[in-house]
Structure 1
Amino acid sequence: MTDPFPEDLQRRYRPRLEADATALRAQSGETSDTRRPVELDQQSVGRLSRMDAMQQQAMAAALEARRGARRRAITAALLRMEAGEFGFCEDCGDFIGFGRLDLDPTLVRCVDCAG
């Protein structure tokens, strides 16, 4: 099989990457309230309720960190597209393969180099 042209890869994967980035931004905006620091108000919230709220806040912050990592991976993939390097292994230069890119278009290594 011959390697695809960078333009073909852009047509196939750019819409998905851009849609994923848009969805991640929307999710971050929707959950911003859950990441705010938990206020200490002993009069209205009991100790266990506050601990639950702190745990929820920590989980929301961890989820936002994962979203941030995914957004950075998407941005890097879009930059590789602009440079004509998208879809090719950063280690060996071979085509990563449609199967792998269909699963995750932000991947930077082929199966052999990822192993």
Structure 2
Amino acid sequence: MTDPRIALLNRLAALDVEDAAGRDGQKTVTLDQQAVGRLSRMDALQNQAMAQAQGRRRQAERQRIRAALQRLDEGDYGHCTDCGEEIASARLTSDPATPRCLDCTRGG
């Protein structure tokens, strides 16, 4: 298993790159009817809404990563935040920021 701290920090850096790429899509849509037609404006508004939703998703992922880094610092990393049991290493490899074991995630 790779070092989870490195994996988490690399993902944070990748989110910063994704944010930079998505900034143009989140800009205010100009509603100048002379510049673009109605359908083009609707497309632009839809694209803006999708870019904003992706930005919110990235922000939520950042929060999960920061929480995982805090668990690493506190020595609680790799243990379920609900039941305290050890999280399977394959699950942590797949998602190093996961806070819960599979049983707790499933609600069991």
Q: Which residue of 1 aligns with 2:66?
A: 75
Q: Alpha carbon RMSD of aligned pairs, Å?
A: 1.4
Structure 2 counterparts to residues 82-101 of structure 1, below 5 A:
82-101=73-92
Residues 32-85 of structure 1: CA deviation (Å, up to 9, x unaligned): 011011011111111111111111111111111111111111111001111111
SS of 1:85's equivalent in the other structure is coil
Identity value in percent: 46
The residue identity in structure 2 corresponding to 1:60 is A
Q: Distance in 2 between matches of 1:28 and 1:44?
A: 27
**TM-score (normalizing by structure 1):** 0.86
Q: Report deviation, 1:109.
A: 1.4
Q: Distance in 2 between matches of 1:114 and 1:50?
A: 41
Q: Distance in 1 between matches of 2:67 and 2:46?
A: 32
Q: Report deviation, 1:98.
A: 0.4
Q: Report deviation, 1:112.
A: 2.2
SS of 1:109's equivalent in the other structure is coil
Question: Which sections of structure 1, spanning at least 5 residues, go unmatched?
Answer: 1-8
The residue identity in structure 2 corresponding to 1:56 is N
Q: Which residue of 2 aligns with 1:6?
A: none
Q: Which residue of 1 aligns with 2:53?
A: 62
List structure 1 segments (4+ residues) > 6 angstroms apart after TM superposition.
none
**TM-score (normalizing by structure 2):** 0.91
Q: Distance in 1 between matches of 2:104 and 2:41?
A: 47
How many residue pairs end up in the alignment?
A: 106
Question: Which sections of structure 2, spanning at least 5 residues, go unmatched?
Answer: none
Q: Does 1:22 align with 2:19?
A: no
